[in-house]
Structure 1
């Protein structure tokens, strides 16, 4: 199943729907304004909370967490610098890791567990600007978690871009 996600819509206070490939409202994302740290709540169409995305404060490298029922489900961060391409990782609460590989900035990447692709994130499937798809490839995968990971990667890339621009501006 493919889900349609608008990028750069994840700023504080933004609320929006993520639709499936048939145009049905699949997930509602509520950007919380009254929080010190960036917080997004992912809900099903009935308003049930599926997961909460937070930017971790005061970490060495930017990290975002996805929580469910108050417990950390996954932490997403950039791996140490790789000169050939960006690589992110999602560490599950169980200690297992999902690799996030590909062209992160241009939104053509995969979320993998071992040698198996769980989801492909791609901008190619849509003509709409600032939109990408999260294609969940496994029937038994958790779509809200994989979409949340893609949202985390999107936010981390955006934070890094803003940091870079600030540094350029200061010099």
Structure 2
């Protein structure tokens, strides 16, 4: 925890304010959709959090995000033959949970719009190729993706704010990683 964050938490405790829960940081590998590849998404401390099941021999790229017990949380599928690159995230029940579309014109930075079923949209902006971007809702951060947190090659971090659906945010990061390839 950074010294600034410690000071903020100490001040909040002294004033009797509710201390917001700390965000959770996950470690992910680049190129999630290598054909048939399975691996584990870990917390920054190295604890297994989710399993990724890459499906081989499919017409379109597909991965499944599963919880530690193996239960399906989200399925990420590429939509082919679209004007804008599009990925669809389906929940365990098969319903669309989110649709990710890349903006057509992005002069300075990469930008994606995420339409979330039953909720306000999310916006993704930053340097997607270098894994340095932010996911926001109504201008407030939902998650931050950065390669700077880990020294391991082909690894990047996803920091999810407290109260968010971690599996959905990780599925969004995986979909964006697939689109950028």
Q: TM-score, normalised by structure 1?
A: 0.88
Deviation at 1:94, TM superposition (A): 2.8
Deviation at 1:95, TM superposition (A): 6.4
Q: In structure 2, how many angstroms separate the alpha carbons of the residues matched to 1:73 and 1:126? A: 30
8 Å contact from structure 2 (residues 32, 177) kept in 1: no
Deviation at 1:12, TM superposition (A): 2.2
Deviation at 1:36, TM superposition (A): 2.1
Deviation at 1:115, TM superposition (A): 1.6
- Aligned position for 1:82: 106
Q: In structure 2, how many angstroms separate the alpha carbons of the residues matched to 1:66 and 1:151? A: 10
Dislocated runs of 4+, deviation >6 Å: none
Larger Rg: 2
Deviation at 1:51, TM superposition (A): 0.4
Q: In structure 2, how many angstroms separate the alpha carbons of the residues matched to 1:65 and 1:84? A: 25
Q: Verify: 1:70 aligned to 2:94, yes or no.
A: yes
SS at match of 2:151: coil
Structure 2: give runs of 5+ residues left out of the alignment: 1-23
- Aligned position for 1:42: 65
Q: In structure 1, how many angstroms separate the alpha carbons of the residues matched to 2:27 and 2:180? A: 19
Q: Verify: 1:14 aligned to 2:37, yes or no.
A: yes
Structure 1 residues 47-106: Cα deviation after superposition (integer angstroms, max 9, x where no partner): 000000000122211101110010010011211212111111111123631010111111
- Aligned position for 1:102: 126
- Aligned position for 2:145: 121
SS at match of 2:170: helix
The partner residue of 1:144 within 150, 153, 167 is 167
Deviation at 1:133, TM superposition (A): 0.4
Q: TM-score, normalised by structure 2?
A: 0.83
Aligned positions, number: 157
Structure 1 residues 13-41: Cα deviation after superposition (integer angstroms, max 9, x where no partner): 01010000111110000011143221101
CA RMSD of aligned residues (A): 1.2
